[in-house]
Amino acid sequence: MEENRSGSNGSVLVAGDIMLDIYRFGNVNRISPEAPVPVFSETGKHKSVPGGAANVAVNMAAIGMKTALFSLVGSDAAGDALLESLQKLEIDVSAVKRSPERRTTSKLRFIGPNNQQILRVDMEETEDMHIKDVEDLFYSIERRIREFGLMLLSDYKKGFLSEEISKRLVELGRKNNIPVLVDVKDVNISKYKGAYLLKPNRKELGELTGMPAGTIDDVEKAAIKLCENAECSYVLTTLGADGMLLVNKDGKLAYSKSTAKEVYDVTGAGDTSIAYLAAEILQGKSIYEAVETANYAAGVQVSKLGTSIVYPYEVERAMGREAVALNRKLLDYYRKDGLERIADDRRNGKKAVFTNGCFDILHAGHISYLKRARELGDFLVVGVNSDASVRRLKGESRPINSLADRCLVLSALEFVDYVVPFEEDTPNRLIKAVLPDVLVKGGDYNIEEIVGKDIVEANGGIVTTVSFVPGKSTTGIVDRVVNGNDEERRYRNHP
């Protein structure tokens, strides 16, 4: 099998255990008088996001890969919620079976102060699936197999990837020259025999081989042994704070140290890393480039709370590719999926702040205003008037800077998360699309006259103002450039 695979088959088939990750937020202020346990007082804030193999698929879709899922959910409310969230992201769920006999795997986490996890409750059934239970869906996968450029097996040992199903998927990939990447959990190596790449963590590697995996040298020896026993091309071992180690049967190929600057929550890091690894391979990158990108993606993931999407611009920024990262902050809300990243942040329980303006010449007043606006929520969306819109509002001599330049400068600000140009004279339509939790404008505005106030308040949001820095304005800067200020005139008259 070729190491690089770009080709025309740009779709990914993700097979494995999908689940719903549920988060409930609250406070703990006392111990129960009934038993020495904390009393969790819910605040009413909660979120539900796809987890397990579904989280892999969601990250693949966020990267821009056309993604299909092969899995199973129960005929229950959790299954409904999971499939609905996946369909909103345009993930193909036609090969996801609804089963009245099995409930949807769910993980309920109670999150206390400072986003500390208090308790996790798992709802699951882990009996192995029989191939006959999904035979019809398997035949549909076989009929369309040439659509896929890569297959990814995400095994959480919840029963879907039984030995017979796993073997058949690996064989299907080999027969059609399609790389099969496996995020392994089971100690039964025969399930994965013949796959292109296996991705265990340090603990799983030790269990799979019966060998020590404490040091990097230990990991290398055990990974080589696994590569031989599983007859695969590569083994990529994730090592947490120690990074990742890639080997083939002949020895170590690459060691990538951890890039995480702050470890906040390790949930979903493995899903994110294998999603980016798969995407890079599918796009024709070398295995070495793929491992590097996957390592950076994992570093971004562990800086977030819980199961979250890691977007390409975040990875590009972490890798020091600022120009690419800045461009990815720019959203096109006139496209159907233009604001999907904002919607996803909202689904993840984040509080959206929105403001807008021309931002023709970015000055100290703007910086102070935008920084304070960002402090009102979890992420800041800045609407920017188009060039034509600025001319209609400010006159034919404006803007001084083009829309592209204004958006680039705004994107470079760390506290600006998204930049969204709009063509209309007012941001009314854009505000309806974003539905922010907080709408903020400068202190020179009367709150009752702020465009979008009715929309935001009707949706339960708030409208507020932030005071400007005195004496700082674009108009004043333009006037001084054209006419010169008093000090400059005095210098010209009395050199």
Q: Which phi-psi region, left, alpha or beta, contains residue 279 (left: φ > 0; alpha: ψ -120 to 50)?
A: alpha
Active-site choice (271, 345, 360, 437): 271
Determine contact, residues 250/279, Cβ cutoff 8 Å: no
Determine contact, residues 436/325, Cβ cutoff 8 Å: no
Determine contact, residues 202/24, Cβ cutoff 8 Å: no
d(CA 469, CA 482): 22
Cα radius of gyration rounded to whole Å, the chain:
26
Determine contact, residues 307/285, Cβ cutoff 8 Å: no
Number of Cβ atoms within 10 Å of the Cβ of 198: 27
- DSSP characters for 83-133? HHHHHHTT-EEEEEEEESSSPPPEEEEEE-GGG-EEEEEEE---PPPPGGG
Helices (H), 285-402: 287-301, 312-318, 322-329, 340-347, 364-374, 387-394
DSSP letter (8 states) at residue 469:
P
Is 271 part of the annotated catalytic residue set?
yes
d(CA 295, CA 495): 61
Residue at token pair 């007043």: 365
Determine contact, residues 158/19, Cβ cutoff 8 Å: yes
DSSP letter (8 states) at residue 459:
T
- DSSP characters for 147-209? GEEEEEEE--SSSSS-HHHHHHHHHHHHHTT--EEEE---S-GGGGTT-SEEE-BHHHHHHHH
Which residues are tagged catalytic? 271
